[in-house]
Amino acid sequence: MIKSLAHELGFMFCGISKAEFLSEEAPRLEKWLSKNMHDKMEYMANHFEKRLDPTKLVPGAKSVVSLAYNYFPEKDLAKDDTFKLAKYAYGEDYHFVIKRKLKEFLERIYESVGEVGGRAFVDSAPVMERQWAVKSGLGWIGKNSLLLNKNQGSFFFLAELILDLELTPDGPVKDYCGTCTACIDACPTDAIPEPYIVDGSKCISYITIELRDAIPKVFQGKMDNWIFGCDICQDVCPWNRFSKAHNEPAFKPNPELGSMSNADWHELTQDVFNGLFKKSAVKRTKFTGLKRNITFSGK
């Protein structure tokens, strides 16, 4: 019933795992934090126990339902000679789109089985989404630290329902990265120092979105025209040749985005920014942040 509902609501994949302490992840997370790979993302070091134990988010939790929602666009707007936005930010902010679906999902569960204790999450709380998705069989974590699926690559959002409902868990799938190092080799800032580890402080997505300070000069000439997010490690991944275009109207890009020239980006005003990104995730970096990114890239 849960999986049938997920597909009715447009989720591409749905998997279930037992809500339990992520004992294998505790030392990995601790090591990553100790190396300061989260840089200025202080929130990554907060709520350590909650990240690892779903029962601290939902008392009495028994199951984690992991969901994947496709955002691969029909047309890639990133061109070599123009400024680029990550594909996930072309349309309406995914938080709003998916939260609406999760709310309906919970309501439909209540209608079917009665009152259930649970919460819905989409990148909105200390939940280790990729790790739960792996335990639920949605895919494996690739060498670029993103979740990969044999049938759809990695261009999808992850979301979860943590419920006090006993559900039959799915098992994990194997890692199909093999000897491939495409993502490691392609990263212009060397943000993947070793397979499966991403140094957030060097990641173009972090630099263009999360970092509020001036961009360190060491990255001059290495940004590859990205001004909000980055898709390099996904674009070069062989598994993404299987990505299929989404059919979510809310994710369709503003028509003006595809016609923006470098001159248009440099001349961007607050009013144009507000109109262009009215409901977009790009608002996260604010107008001043986007202008900083454009100026730093310097084309």
Annotated catalytic residues are: 123
Name residue 148's beta-bridge partners: 140
Please give the DSSP secondary-structure letter assigned to residue 73.
-
Q: Residue 227: what are its φ and ψ, rounded to 5°? A: -115, -10
What per-residue string of b and e applies to 155-194 under the rule 16 or more CB within 10 Å gives b?
bbbbbbbbbebebebbeebeeebeebebbbebbebebbee
3-state secondary structure 213-265: CCCCHHHCCCCCCEEECCCHHHHCCHHHHHCCCCCCHHHCCCCCHHHCCHHHH
